[in-house]
Structure 1
Amino acid sequence: MNVLIMPDSFKGSLSAPEVAAAIQQGMEKVLPKAEFQLLPVGDGGEGTLDALISSLNLTTATAEVTGPFGEKVAMRYGFKESQAFFEMADLVGLPKISEEKRAPLQLQTKGLGELVIYLIQQGFTEIGIGVGGSASVDGGIGFAAGLGYRFLDEKGEELLPIGANLGKVVAVEKPQLELENVKIKIINDVQNPLCGEQGAAAVFGPQKGLKPEEIPLVDEALQSFYQQAESDILSLAGAGAGGGMAAGITAFAGGEIVSGIDYVLDLMDFDELVQNADLVIVGEGRMDQQSLSGKAPVGIARRVPAGIPVVAICGSVDKELTNTAEAGITAVFPIVSQPMDLSEAIANTEINLSRTAENIASLYHKLVEKF
């Protein structure tokens, strides 16, 4: 029996590799002779790099870049052959910025552009960048500055490349860049445009710390900035990801927005691996209706051949979740067995995962025996 275990991270508790290990621990109590293949995944959000490092056996390294407050920091990346990967959340992720320092319009993302230049200089020809889970809303102006772009105000003075200065840009000085021989993939799990009711400021701004009165002003500044820089970005699906970082990577580095989970699955040669599977286990911290739009579990399920059951194990399941079978998921199991505080649930994630996985394995084993 061959079981593929392919969870996303359970944010706030366990990384995707840790979730996969806990699921295996529970299932092998009932299925000791089964072959378990642990392939933790990510779809562009926080933890995607950890999942890729584990699943693709990437080598890791660091490079010195500009940090969110202008300091120098060591930022990690993973690589294999000609491909390199990093994620925005490693520089300006919400967990990395303490609540008292969360100021989405003041954080610098210059280090992301600097890392791209460094990786190109090292000879990498494909760079994958996860843009989820960030604490900034700067429309990618910081990233562009890291590539060498300079942004000037009406007096011709160079602006600090942060979100607060987007609306002050009246001129852009372009660097001499040679990006023709490198492919930059923007690993993304949302389809939100840059501006408007579904845009970067309105939808993602509040969770990053934008105040209600700031949202329309930031939206207007993003609109004004890209009317000058590259107006086509304003109609690009997914450009709002990462506080507009997806827009910046596209406009200033020729990046291509790709479906996060499909990109990761392709890297793993998933379509070939799944042919020998008897059971596929997926999971994420919380499954709700938004999950059905293409988050990791559903993205995997849609590519599993008919006849192979796909079971989702989740931290919690929204009571209004429907149509999971239509998305290719055979059954969904929450791991919390009784009412408890969130802090208690997070503290017991590993135990609850293992127990739930053991029960699923028992049910599967009995059903297979019967038929």
Structure 2
Amino acid sequence: MTGSFTVVVAPDSFKGSATAAAIATAIADGWMSVRPGDVVLPTPMADGGEGTLDAFELAVPGATRIPVMVQGPAGGTVSASWLLLPQSDEFPGGVGIVELATTSGITLLDELAPLDAHTLGFGQAIADALDHRVSRLLLAIGGSASTDGGVGALAALGARFSDAQGRPIRLGNRGLGSLARVDLGGLRALPDAGVAILSDVTNPLLGPAGAAAVFAPQKGANEAQVLGLESGLVRLERLVRAERPGVRATTAGAGAAGGTGYGMLAWGATMTPGAGAVGDALGLPSLIAAADVVVTGEGRFDAQSAAGKAPSYVAGLARSAGVRAMLVAGAIEACDVPFDEAVSLVELAGGAADAIADPVRWARAAGARLASRIR
């Protein structure tokens, strides 16, 4: 490739380290330091996890943040917000977007709490959006702190979970050990145009690829705790199935966010690929189709990245458009990397600690490195 090019820079956030906007700007700055004649378009992405509200707010004129106070994932109060998209003929009450990461997310914890973290705050924010009479809800469920099967969120929406004596169970997966009865009859009605779950994973609720086995270790659970968490989810699934037999634990994405995907399915929501929903709002397919190069990225590119996360979605758009695709990741741990070029911040920084300490600096260096490889 020679001459001047149009470059779309569309990374996800580097979770717990840097926002998608900061990484996109850094990569673009690095690229322009080598190729100042190119047209570089920073387009921060998200896939249903951390940064989804930011991406929609950037993409949709007139989007409004609605502040809300909720209970944090392990107690205390969290000052959060959800996003209200403008009214339209199709959605006269507007569309509400609620992001679990900002209400019940792992980055809100000072210490990991694999047994006791919960999603009550997420449900409280959803309830606030319903109180505003939105026509449709989009639920971004990545980045959770818990493995509670969405029980906390459902409780905030009117469901009842009780023990053998009829007492409410405690919040978190620990409470599922005493769960004896599930009553979903009091759940609030869905908005008129329904609820879509924006998810970046396809894992089922249970089993070796499920919420506890795959994600709980990332939330601080040891091997014995993973078994206990799985047992709690099994108990929950059995009782929910008795009341809602059509809700399947095997549904792709049911295991997302510690089983919150399953809980929201039990409410009546439907699964939607998060990256595609955000990409459509940003007009990313058209941007990439008109570009010469696209650069995407995330904090860790591994085997799970191919299961619907932002980089794989962006790479698919690039392939369809015949556009060269490049990757910037904090760490690259996958055997199959479907990009023309790839750079890891760990490689550039000479170690994980330095890369994590200053990801913006190394993302800028990565942008320069990729630009230098264009011929």
TM range (shorter): 0.7 to 0.9
Q: Find the counterpart in structure 2 of residue 85 from structure 1.
A: 97
1:277-296 alignment, distance < 5 Å = 277-296=291-310
Contact map agreement 1:223 1:234 (CA 8 A) in 2: no
Distance change in 2, residues 1:159/1:285 (3 Å): closer
CA RMSD for the aligned pairs? 2.3
Count of residues paired in the alignment: 357
Q: Give the C-alpha shift of residue 55 in structure 1.
A: 4.1
| Counterpart residue identity of residue 7, structure 2 | V
CA deviations on 1:178-202 (whole Å, 9 max, x unpaired) are: 2151422212111111111111111
Match of 2:70 among 65, 71, 89: 65
Extract unaligned runs of 5+ from structure 2.
87-93
Distance change in 2, residues 1:336/1:296 (3 Å): same
Q: Give the C-alpha shift of residue 5 in structure 1.
A: 0.9
Contact map agreement 1:40 1:52 (CA 8 A) in 2: no
Distance change in 2, residues 1:73/1:10 (3 Å): closer
With normalisation by structure 1, the TM-score equals 0.88
Q: Find the counterpart in structure 2 of residue 44 from structure 1.
A: 48
Match of 1:7 among 1, 4, 11: 11
Question: What SS class does the counterpart of residue 233 from structure 1 fall into?
Answer: coil
Q: Could you tell me how far apart the structure 2 residues matched to 1:4 and 1:72 are?
A: 39
Q: Could you tell me how far apart the structure 2 residues matched to 1:242 and 1:204 are?
A: 8
CA deviations on 1:4-36 (whole Å, 9 max, x unpaired) are: 110111234321000011111122234334333
Does structure 1 residue 138 correspond to structure 2 residue 153? no
Q: Give the C-alpha shift of residue 68 in structure 1.
A: 2.6
Match of 2:216 among 196, 205, 208: 205
1:163-174 alignment, distance < 5 Å = 163-173=173-183, 174=185
Does structure 1 residue 94 correspond to structure 2 residue 106? yes
Distance change in 2, residues 1:234/1:307 (3 Å): closer
Question: What SS class does the counterpart of residue 127 from structure 1 fall into?
Answer: strand
Q: Could you tell me how far apart the structure 2 residues matched to 1:169 and 1:338 are?
A: 50
Matched-pair identity in %: 33
Does structure 1 residue 268 correspond to structure 2 residue 273? no
Distance change in 2, residues 1:150/1:36 (3 Å): same
Q: Could you tell me how far apart the structure 2 residues matched to 1:103 and 1:334 are?
A: 30
Q: Give the C-alpha shift of residue 247 in structure 1.
A: 0.6
Distance change in 2, residues 1:160/1:196 (3 Å): same
Contact map agreement 1:45 1:130 (CA 8 A) in 2: yes
Contact map agreement 2:157 2:187 (CA 8 A) in 1: no
Extract unaligned runs of 5+ from structure 1.
none
Q: Could you tell me how far apart the structure 1 residues matched to 2:348 and 2:237 are?
A: 50
Contact map agreement 1:287 1:314 (CA 8 A) in 2: yes
Q: Find the counterpart in structure 1 of residue 25 from structure 2.
A: 21
Q: Find the counterpart in structure 2 of residue 186 from structure 1.
A: 197
Q: Could you tell me how far apart the structure 2 residues matched to 1:162 and 1:358 are?
A: 45
| Counterpart residue identity of residue 165, structure 1 | G
